[in-house]
Amino acid sequence: MDTKFFLGVLLAVILVFSSAAIYTSFARLPAASAVPEDRDTLYQVSTIDALVLGVYDGVQPVSEIKKHGDFGIGTFDALDGEMIVIDGTVYQAKADGGLYAVPDNTTTPFATVTRFEPDTITTTGRPMNFSVFSMEMSTSLPSRNMIYAVRMHGTFPLMKVRAIPLQQKPYPPLMDAAQNQSVRTHTGITGTVVGFYTPVFFKGINVAGYHLHFISDDRHSGGHILDFEVPENTTVEYDITPSFRMMLPTKGAFTGVNLSQDLSGELVRIES
């Protein structure tokens, strides 16, 4: 056996075993009949493309959102900051840098929640920024055609978050509203990453891939994650969520806006 061939075989063996190691850290996907209908459901208000086009009027109160999940993300009426739902409490990270508990009558134009019960965990094998995390963690999922709620607690060397300020009518599209976003970069901050992975075929409905928000343990800071550094050996918890329920607004700007366009390019520029 010549050396090149031997090295080739060795590499192939290592790759097979290392990918097997990634997969064994995951549970298998559950049988459809074994999925509890209301617990493993992603509940969503409106669509991400409606938000991209400036549909910011709140259509559902936080009290209703809480009936469908204790964990999730979204925004608020008039695009007033970023929503983080954790352990059943709804928080608002505002452009002033503050984090506030939200009264039940506050409304949302876009939110996604579920009841978080981790099915499986994995750990980061090395330090990762957001783009490396998105790429590597996507390939290690048991299936990329599945919805996952994602939770990760740790102390992050870097956590860059944004919050968009309250918008005035007539509402500008999200791209313009995001021009005035307030960005904060925290170093060595301890807290929880809260969000979802949705498949590519969710394009237009949700942010395909990882959409993550952050909330600090002291409950003083948070926002939509633009970038981060995740240390190695950080535990990432996944809740496999095979069921999806979407509530579309039945009145207001949503009913007339043109949602037949492909806005994915625009969304990538806004979300990162």
Residue closer to Zn ion by CB (options 68, 224) is 224
**Integer CA distances (angstroms), 147 to 43, 207, 264, in order:** 11, 11, 18
Strand order from edge to edge, sheet including 82-86: 99-101, 89-93, 82-86, 71-75, 111-114, 41-45, 243-247
Q: How many residues of this chain interact with Zn ion, rule: CB under 5 A?
A: 1
Pick the closer one to Zn ion by CB: 29 or 178: 178
Which 32-61 residues touch Zn ion, going by CB under 5 A?
A: none
151 interacts with Zn ion by CB under 5 A: no
Three-state secondary-structure class, residue 73 = strand
Q: In terms of CB distance, is 94 or 224 closer to Zn ion?
A: 224
CB of 223 to Zn ion, least distance (A): 8
Q: Which stretch binds Zn ion (CB under 5 A): 47-55, 104-112, 197-205, 218-226?
A: 218-226
User: Which residue number is nearest to Zn ion in terms of Cβ?
Assistant: 224
Q: How far apart are CA 272 and CA 270, in angstroms?
A: 6
Query: Which window, 49-57, 121-129, 169-177, 222-230, contacts Zn ion (CB under 5 A)?
Result: 222-230
Query: Least distance in Å: CB of 197 to Zn ion?
Result: 13
Q: How is residue 187 annotated by DSSP?
A: S
CB 212 to Zn ion: min, Å: 8
Nearer to Zn ion, 189 or 193 (CB): 193
Nearest to 127, CA basis, from 228, 59, 14:
228
In the bound state with Zn ion, the residue whose beta carbon lies nearer, of 95 and 142, is: 95
For residues 79 and 55, give the distance between their C-alpha atoms in angstroms, rounded to a whole number. 9
Using CB under 5 A as the binding rule, whether residue 224 contacts Zn ion is answered as yes
Name which of 90 and 142 has its Cβ closer to Zn ion: 90
d(CA 78, CA 62): 14
CA 146 to each of CA 77, 165, 167, 244: distance values in angstroms, whole numbers, following the listed order? 29, 32, 34, 10
Question: CB of 82: closest distance to Zn ion in angstroms?
Answer: 6
Query: If you write DSSP's letter for every residue of 113-124 in order, what string do you get?
Result: EE-----EEEE-
Interface contacts to Zn ion, rule CB under 5 A: 224
